[in-house]
């Protein structure tokens, strides 16, 4: 099948697994840690990266690879790697090109877990991060760059502040400084936005969210566009452009060309750090992907109705949904996601934190869960839940108001969702 010419809908259903004669029609779960060879020499060649093939599921597994291939095709990339979580995906995406003494620049409008990883844990490994406002001017972002800066990072639509990244602008700035733009595309999904088409170089996802869509399996993915020219900035990326002693002096860019970044991530980071996605979870993720193109439009349609309804309620202090004309990012959302953005809405109620809690406790259909971007409508108060570790100042930096309620609109009937919100609001009055 010529995948490049197929539409995203077809790729969701049929991308990835391509059975040969007599093989299972449905992607099988290769529930095996290990793979058999006939000679010692065959196995040795795999370990030297001279042949490609499976030998141990910590590095690669056929079920995972089929799902990774589907996601790579959906994003328009050259290759992808599944990870055990979105956190692992973002860690590897950075760690694959940054080491102790390096630095990267990041939009502050990002997921709380990613903020902690970048601001606290990577710092302990000697990798520094400068956060910039998602709406910062080009000059302000330029000023955050240092001689040791190796990447620029942002989220297409930020969780939970629903800010939209100006991908083209960020890509231009990254490339001006000779570094790749890494975009976490979790909320938009490749159905609504494909960041590579706007100049991004590497895309990550928490597949736990819309891609799985049914809240069954935690997972992540890294996708490479294959477009960034590591050799042109060889001095910045010695891990890719100079010999790897742990692979007998092999140089990834010379041996693998456009696949250098993905091969290093798989052969070196996965080998040494683990965090592979289990084949079981990859199978569940694939089931979710088969309907992603049907679910996303419904999430967006429902969220638009709910956001418009919320905006008209006297008890509601503010609503932020990038599909609303009142959103400061409406124009950016129209540019990058003309067919819809995502199902997640941020809003605040008038009154104190107490009212927000009463409202959430009164909801019946929408459940309070840590999860987001699920088929079932769910709700969360980041300041008390996911972003608990952040100080008030860090909350403000991440665009998370203390009264922000994150409403993840599911694919139920929009009228039922609105009726539930209405009864909960009336119970607070």
Ligand X SMILES: *Cc1c(COP(=O)(O)O)cnc(C)c1O
Q: Which residues bind ligand X (CB under 6 A)?
A: 85-87, 90, 111, 113-114, 155, 159, 184, 186, 206, 208-209, 218, 220
Residue showing the smallest CB distance to ligand X in the complex: 86
**Smallest separation (angstroms) from ligand X to the CB of 212:** 9
| Residue number, 263 or 286, with CB nearest to ligand X | 286
| Residue number, 127 or 428, with CB nearest to ligand X | 127
| Residue number, 217 or 425, with CB nearest to ligand X | 217
Round to whole Å and give the CA distance between 6 and 97: 32
Q: In this structure, what are the phi and psi dihedrals at residue 347, rounded to the nearest 5 degrees?
A: -150, 165
**Smallest separation (angstroms) from ligand X to the CB of 226:** 23
**Smallest separation (angstroms) from ligand X to the CB of 248:** 34
| Residue number, 61 or 206, with CB nearest to ligand X | 206
**Smallest separation (angstroms) from ligand X to the CB of 112:** 9
Helices (H), 153-278: 167-176, 189-192, 238-241, 252-256, 260-264, 271-273
**Smallest separation (angstroms) from ligand X to the CB of 209:** 6
Round to whole Å and give the CA distance between 150 and 169: 17
| Residue number, 213 or 239, with CB nearest to ligand X | 213
Nearest to residue 73, comparing CAs of 176, 210, 203? 203
Residues 226 and 233: beta-carbon distance below 8 Å:
no
| Cross-strand pairs, 349 | 316
Residues 283 and 394: beta-carbon distance below 8 Å:
no
| Residue number, 96 or 159, with CB nearest to ligand X | 159
Round to whole Å and give the CA distance between 373 and 299: 9
| Residue number, 68 or 260, with CB nearest to ligand X | 68
Question: From residue 70, how far is each of 63, 221, 234 by CA, in Å?
Answer: 11, 11, 30
Round to whole Å and give the CA distance between 345 and 404: 10
**Smallest separation (angstroms) from ligand X to the CB of 373:** 7
**Smallest separation (angstroms) from ligand X to the CB of 236:** 25
Question: From residue 190, how far is each of 211, 368, 371 by CA, in Å?
Answer: 9, 27, 20
């Amino acid at each position: 099948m010529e995948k490049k010419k197929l539409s995203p809908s077809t790729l969701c259903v049929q991308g990835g697994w391509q059975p040969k004669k007599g093989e299972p029609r449905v992607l099988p779960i290769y529930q095996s840690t290990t793979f058999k060879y006939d000679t010692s020499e065959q196995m040795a060649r795999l370990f030297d990266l001279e042949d490609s093939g499976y030998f141990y599921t910590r590095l690669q597994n056929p079920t995972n690879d089929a799902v990774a291939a589907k996601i790579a095709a959906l994003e328009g990339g050259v290759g992808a790697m599944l990870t055990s979580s979105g956190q692992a995906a973002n860690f590897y995406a950075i760690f694959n090109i940054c080491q102790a003494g390096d630095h990267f620049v990041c939009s502050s409008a990002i997921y709380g877990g990613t903020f902690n990883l970048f601001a606290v844990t990577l710092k302990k490994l000697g990798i520094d991060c400068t956060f910039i406002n998602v709406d910062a001017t080009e000059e302000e972002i330029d000023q955050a760059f240092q001689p040791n800066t190796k990447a620029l990072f942002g989220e297409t639509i930020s969780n939970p502040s629903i800010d939209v990244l100006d991908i083209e602008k960020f890509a231009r700035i990254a490339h001006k400084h000779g570094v790749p733009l890494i975009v976490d595309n979790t909320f938009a999904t490749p159905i609504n936005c494909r960041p590579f088409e706007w100049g991004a170089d590497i895309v990550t996802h928490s597949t736990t969210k819309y891609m799985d869509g049914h809240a069954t399996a935690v997972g992540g993915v890294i996708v490479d566009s294959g477009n960034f020219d590591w050799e042109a900035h060889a001095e910045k990326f010695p891990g890719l452009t100079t010999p790897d002693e742990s692979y007998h002096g092999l140089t990834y860019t010379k041996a693998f060309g456009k696949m250098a970044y993905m091969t290093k991530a798989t052969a070196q980071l996965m080998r040494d750090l683990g965090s592979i996605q289990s084949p079981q979870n990859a199978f569940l993720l694939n089931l979710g992907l088969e309907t992603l193109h049907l679910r996303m439009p419904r999430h967006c349609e429902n969220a638009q109705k709910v956001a418009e309804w919320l905006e008209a309620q006297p008890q509601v202090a503010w609503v932020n949904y990038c599909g609303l004309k009142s959103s400061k990012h409406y124009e950016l959302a129209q540019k990058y996601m003309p067919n819809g953005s995502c199902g997640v809405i941020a809003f605040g109620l008038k009154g104190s934190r107490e009212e927000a809690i009463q409202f959430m406790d009164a909801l019946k259909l929408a459940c309070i869960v840590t999860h987001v971007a699920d088929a079932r409508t769910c709700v969360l108060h980041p300041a008390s839940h996911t972003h608990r570790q952040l100080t008030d100042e860090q909350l403000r930096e991440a665009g998370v108001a203390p009264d922000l309620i994150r409403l993840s609109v599911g694919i139920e009937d929009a009228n039922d969702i609105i009726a539930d919100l209405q009864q909960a609001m009336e119970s607070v009055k």
